[in-house]
Homo-oligomer: A and B are copies of this chain.
Amino acid sequence: MKILKNWEVNMSSSFGKNIVVTIFGESHGHYIGVVIDGLPIGTQIDMEKLNEFMSRRAPGKNRFGTKRKERDLPKFVAGVQDGKIVANTICAIIENSDQRSSDYEQFKDTPRPSHADYVAYVKYGTEMDMRGSGSFSGRLTAPLCIAGGIAKQILEKKGIEVQSHISSIGGIRDVEIDYAKPDMKALKECEKKEIPVISEEVSEKIKQCIEKIRKEENSIGAEIECFATGVPIGLGEPNYDSFDAVLAKLVFSVPAVRGFSFGAGFDAVSMTGREHNDEYELNDGVKTTTNNAGGVVGGITNGMPIVFKTAIKPTASIGLSQRSFSISENVEKDLEIKGRHDPCIGIRILPVIESVCALTILDFMEN
């Protein structure tokens, strides 16, 4: 099998134009972390709130996530003093408490289906540390959440709120939310719930669904719906830096994302113009009666709430036997992935989606 030469490697661990975020680290290295450039000097970070935000992503908090425990508390090593931003560039790191590598050995030769093992082998060769998926690990969304959590705090002071909920898991849908007037308070309350949905009834059904999936050593996908209110009109540019395109890129940079849609999204396929168009009304300013646009027309925010959906695939690591192959022997081979995995990774991804949304808004506002 051909190994691509290393000097063809060309990747980017950064994003953003005005607020530039650079993440680093790999799943089983010493530290993972983030460098953020361009945040307003003088900003006071509420560390407790940030840690709470981080904990929504962290594994092990309840039986619907993985059992591994990671503390994932950020340590600011540059640009922050007494919680205040004092330099153009800040850096925070998170220690990887669990660096054991025993689990990974077998995947080096027998790549896990729907994981990056095999493409990484072909692209980078055997020297890359792929334990726990290395640079491809979902663990790298932790430093992303440090940046996103700070961005959320800055936006809140400007009256901009970003919240999300699980809109669907395994065919079970949460209650519908009015896109023109989302109930942000109800969404905020989802933060504290085991299953971040608005309806208690839906929560119970999802719990049963996940419990069943876990017992089968299987996994299940999820749909996340994210809202941002208070976003000013005028963010985004025509052509190739539109608000929705920039956000689409970031959302698709989150591992496990398979779909992204704005406002009415894929429902628009079957809608007529009369149904889909958002008529204007003068009601405490210029508003639209509906919000099928999800707050963005022509690539530019129109002052209505930002609304988008994200499709999350089922966790790729499952205990059930799957067909793979041996790279060295070039024969097909069955594989069982042992260990404790999230039956539904989607419920841990909400703060990540909120992070990329908040960072996109802030980046355009700092323009």
* Complex contact A279–B35 (CB within 8 A): no
> With A140-B239, A219-B273, A260-B259 in contact, is A78–B320 under 8 Å at CB?
no
Q: Within 8 Å CB of A234, what residues of B?
A: 4, 119, 122-123
* Complex contact B128–A12 (CB within 8 A): no
Q: Mark A195-239, 1 if CB is under 8 A from B, else 0.
A: 000000000000000000100001111110000000001100111
* Complex contact A41–B11 (CB within 8 A): no
- Considering the chains assembled together, what is the distance between the CA atoms of A15 and B249 in angstroms? 13
* Interface check A163, CB cutoff 8 A: no
* Complex contact A41–B127 (CB within 8 A): yes
> Chain A interface: which size bin?
35 or more
- Considering the chains assembled together, what is the distance between the CA atoms of A8 and B87 in angstroms? 14
* Complex contact A91–B31 (CB within 8 A): yes
User: Which chain B residue shows the least CB distance to A43?
Assistant: B6
Q: For window 96-140 of chain A, which residues contact chain B by CB distance below 8 Å? A: 111, 113-116, 118-120, 122-125, 127-129, 133-136, 140
* Interface check A255, CB cutoff 8 A: yes
Which of A46-54, A57-65, A321-329 contacts its partner?
Answer: A321-329
* Complex contact A81–B300 (CB within 8 A): no
> With A86-B128, A245-B252, A301-B119 in contact, is A265–B272 under 8 Å at CB?
no
User: Which chain B residue shows the least CB distance to A166?
Assistant: B269
Q: Say which residue of B24, B87, B253, B258 sits within 8 Å of A91 (CB atoms).
A: B24
Q: Say which residue of B41, B140, B223 sits within 8 Å of A269 (CB atoms).
A: B223
Q: Within 8 Å CB of A289, what residues of B?
A: 323
Q: For window 290-341 of chain A, which residues contact chain B by CB distance below 8 Å? A: 292-294, 297-302, 309, 311-318, 320, 322-325, 330-332
User: Which chain B residue shows the least CB distance to A327?
Assistant: B286
User: Which chain B residue shows the least CB distance to A259?
Assistant: B261
Q: Say which residue of B136, B248, B297 sits within 8 Å of A115 (CB atoms).
A: B297
* Interface check A361, CB cutoff 8 A: no
Q: For window 1-41 of chain A, which residues contact chain B by CB distance below 8 Å? A: 4, 6-15, 18, 20, 22-26, 29-33, 35, 37-38, 40-41
Q: Say which residue of B136, B265, B332 sits within 8 Å of A282 (CB atoms).
A: B332
Secondary structure at chain A's binding surface: helix, strand, loop or mixed?
A: mixed
Q: Within 8 Å CB of A330, what residues of B?
A: 282
- Considering the chains assembled together, what is the distance between the CA atoms of A268 and B10 in angstroms? 30
Q: Within 8 Å CB of A297, what residues of B?
A: 114-116, 118-119
Which of A168-176, A186-194, A347-355 contacts its partner?
Answer: A168-176
Would you mind naming 10 contact pairs between A and B with Cβ atoms under 8 Å apart? A6-B42, A30-B77, A31-B91, A223-B269, A260-B260, A260-B261, A268-B312, A269-B311, A273-B320, A280-B332
Q: Which 9 pairs from chain A and chain B are nearest by CB?
A: A116-B298, A259-B261, A11-B237, A42-B127, A219-B273, A6-B40, A249-B249, A86-B129, A245-B252
Q: Which residues of A contact B (CB under 8 A)?
A: 4, 6-15, 18, 20, 22-26, 29-33, 35, 37-38, 40-42, 76-79, 81, 84-91, 93, 111, 113-116, 118-120, 122-125, 127-129, 133-136, 140, 168-171, 213, 218-223, 233-234, 237-242, 244-246, 248-253, 255, 257-266, 268-282, 286, 288-289, 292-294, 297-302, 309, 311-318, 320, 322-325, 330-332, 365-367
